[in-house]
Structure 1
Amino acid sequence: MGLRKFSFLAFVWFALLVGSNAEEQYSKQERRPIKTFKTIYGETIDCIDMYKQPAFDHPLLKDHKLQYAYLELNSLGIPFGGARAFINHYIPKCEDQQSSGAQIWIAEKYKFTNIQVGWRDEDLSGCYNLECPGFVQVDKSIALGQVLPYPSVIGGAQFEIRFFVQQDNNTKDWWLLNEKNGVDAKIGYWPAKLLPAFAGGAGIQWFGGVTSVESGRLFPPMGSGQFPSQSYSRACYVRQIQYFDQSSQTWKAPELTTPQNIVVTSNACYGATVDNSFKDYGFNVLFGGPGGDRCV
């Protein structure tokens, strides 16, 4: 597993996608890079015209199984205008056709369409980040899919990223932001016309981890590979979970959560727990586990 596979992730998932190979080939020809450069990690990054970004392919993981461990929040009739939280990042060991990550999901009430942002370590085929439908990049210093240079250490220093996804109240576009040096930096956005189901806001949010594996293979570790009972210095977490209130145009902490809000699809392999010790700033959820062959 190379460091290059541990990266910043952002994409929109749709229940149905219809495409054309001819259009895809034409699109690739029209998106020839203006400039190409290599990062210190050996990644090749192409710079293209802002108005010619990829908007056709989409990740469809055939013959793969998923496992989740997350906190679910429902809007209860008051649509969410966004979500934000800190996520610490690890490098879980992933083999061929395995994927493991920590994310924020924002979905409309029927869950057919959702926005996902976070980090992922993977050895899978498919399309993410700037190769996915519709995301418009505006920031010149952060490239989606780039390596995260400082992974957390079990029992040692924890390194975090603060992700924001927020709907513009005027255009209804959905913006991806990242906190840099205490300032909220706009990375890019998903145009409103791409997300008609989100026009009035989102109905559901999830915060936690996900793993994926090809059928017949072992599930990889999630997060740090430790169960959430191992505390903040050893487990993966999402902290200071907040939502954006459309009516007041302010960020707020969820008022309450219950054990019923925790979803774990395989207790033998993974776990998740909520810490409300700092609930005035937003709930925290710790999650993760070793994976293995008992994930049913």
Structure 2
Amino acid sequence: MLTFIDLVLWLLILISLTHEELIEGKTIQNVVNKSIIKTIKVETDEIIDCYDIYRQPSLNHHLLCNHTIQMAPSSYPKGMKSNNFGTFQLTQTWHKYGLCPEGTIPIRRKGKNYDPTLLHKHSPLNLSPYKTNVTSPYDFNGVHVHEYATIDVEGNFLGAQAKINLWQPVTEIYGEMSISQIWVTAGPDDNINTIEAGWQVYRKLHGDDYTRFFIFWTNDGYKSSGCYDLVCNGFVQISSTIALGCNFTEVSTFNGSQKDATFSIYKDQSSGHWWVQLQGISVGYYPSFLFKELSKRATQVSWGGEITNWKSKGRHTTTQMGSGHFPSEGGWKTSSYFNWVQVVNKNYTAEDPKNVVIQVTNPYCYDLKIDDKHYDTNGYGFYYGGPGYNDKCQ
């Protein structure tokens, strides 16, 4: 009969045989988890796992258990600026250390300080395009504020797109964030459906101050559904080159080179799924059956910036939006911009937004100005952003 020590030894041997250390350039068969084909270690202590596309975690969603992956969009909106993908060749830092093979998708591994309460079910992540006072266990004074500088349009839409200027804004404290994004929404505020895409700096979520690509969704007003990126099941990824939640290698510099990238969200005419594209690369899609209000169309689209203001020092935060400079300070190379802002109308044709409403929470802190001087070269666009706390922003 085996002794207790013998059993422990056999258990350790079994674990060592089935454990897999995957490093760039080496793939070792994993008996326990064959979903991960390869792992790439990045110098910033990040780890990228290359998952078999047919075994990606999102397919564990109860609505996706028998789902057939759509490997490419079946349609593309007419007139959308599909050949206008920003000022640089898109790269993310992890690309320097290896790439995921075809048939896999890159997933950024959760860090050791990962906190699932940050990702959904908690009102601090209410990203709806309205000023919001929210009581939160993470709030220093019992209340914090989401502040915005956006343009909004209402109607019936099948998508949206914009070229968004990339910056690395400074956030004042650990829990504050700065975001520049597109919102595609439908439904009443208390049960809103939304799909969001853009870039963000959010130390508490990512562990650093890098500018990172993100997506977000909810189908119940941010209450119990949805999340960032691939943290919860829902988004079906097909790209092997773009990793959600990973940082861009280049951002803009004040009075220097400007970097931007084109972000697109649009509904597939055949499947009805909502596709997300970055720089013309189809990253993946949200199946239409995840949503009730967004199952057929969007009724509002917004573009612009958002920050959270925790008032940790008894005054307005110094967290920057965009470049941290107002549109009035000079525009190009100074303030952040959105160019080639378009909606996809009910005829599946891209066009300039009409009847635009500017929503600025506090123009002394962050502002927005339509750019009416560069339409011929930049399409419909605007400058936005600001420094936060200053003599007039208290």
Normalising by structure 1, report the TM-score.
Answer: 0.78
Compute the displacement of 1:69 (Å).
Answer: 0.6
Aligned to 2:370: 274
| Relative contact order higher in (CA < 8 Å, ≥ 6 apart) | 1
CA distance in 2, matches of 1:207, 1:295: 23
Q: Which runs of 5+ in 1 are unaligned?
A: 1-28
CA distance in 2, matches of 1:41, 1:123: 14
CA distance in 2, matches of 1:40, 1:151: 19
Letter in 2 for 1:69: A
Aligned to 2:327: 228
Q: Please, which of 196, 199, 224 is the counterpart of residue 295 of structure 2? A: 199
Question: Displaced runs of 4+ in structure 1, greater than 6 A?
Answer: 29-32
CA distance in 2, matches of 1:80, 1:290: 33
Alignment of 1:167 with 2:270, yes or no, is no
Aligned with 2:158: secondary structure? strand
Aligned to 1:118: 198
Compute the displacement of 1:35 (Å).
Answer: 2.5
CA distance in 2, matches of 1:235, 1:208: 13
Compute the displacement of 1:125 (Å).
Answer: 3.9
Compute the displacement of 1:204 (Å).
Answer: 0.7
Aligned with 1:130: secondary structure? coil
The answer as to whether partners of 1:209 and 1:288 remain within 8 angstroms in 2 is yes
CA distance 1:228–1:30, shift in 2 (3 Å): farther
Aligned to 1:67: 147
Aligned to 1:216: 312
Letter in 2 for 1:68: Y
Provide Cα deviations, 1:20-52, integer angstroms capped at 9, x if missing partner: xxxxxxxxx989644321235542112224343
Alignment of 1:134 with 2:225, yes or no, is no
Compute the displacement of 1:279 (Å).
Answer: 4.8
* % identical aligned pairs: 30
CA distance 1:128–1:255, shift in 2 (3 Å): closer
CA distance in 2, matches of 1:221, 1:67: 11
Aligned to 1:289: 386
CA distance 1:136–1:72, shift in 2 (3 Å): same
CA distance in 2, matches of 1:295, 1:191: 42
Letter in 1 for 2:177: S
Higher fraction of strand: 1
The answer as to whether partners of 1:135 and 1:189 remain within 8 angstroms in 2 is yes
Aligned to 1:252: 351
How many pairs were matched up? 257
Aligned to 2:56: 52
Q: Which runs of 5+ in 2 are unaligned?
A: 1-31, 62-115, 125-135, 207-226
Alignment of 1:93 with 2:170, yes or no, is yes
CA distance 1:219–1:135, shift in 2 (3 Å): farther
Letter in 1 for 2:262: R
CA distance 1:210–1:31, shift in 2 (3 Å): farther
Provide Cα deviations, 1:91-147, integer angstroms capped at 9, x if missing partner: 111231111011111111424121111100112249521214411110000101111
The answer as to whether partners of 2:153 and 2:355 remain within 8 angstroms in 1 is no
CA distance 1:234–1:143, shift in 2 (3 Å): same
Alignment of 1:38 with 2:41, yes or no, is yes
Compute the displacement of 1:295 (Å).
Answer: 5.5
Compute the displacement of 1:216 (Å).
Answer: 2.8
CA distance in 2, matches of 1:104, 1:286: 15
CA distance 1:132–1:282, shift in 2 (3 Å): farther
Aligned to 2:286: 190
Aligned with 2:201: secondary structure? strand
The answer as to whether partners of 2:267 and 2:273 remain within 8 angstroms in 1 is yes
Compute the displacement of 1:171 (Å).
Answer: 1.3
The answer as to whether partners of 2:337 and 2:382 remain within 8 angstroms in 1 is yes
Compute the displacement of 1:245 (Å).
Answer: 2.1
The answer as to whether partners of 1:98 and 1:214 remain within 8 angstroms in 2 is yes
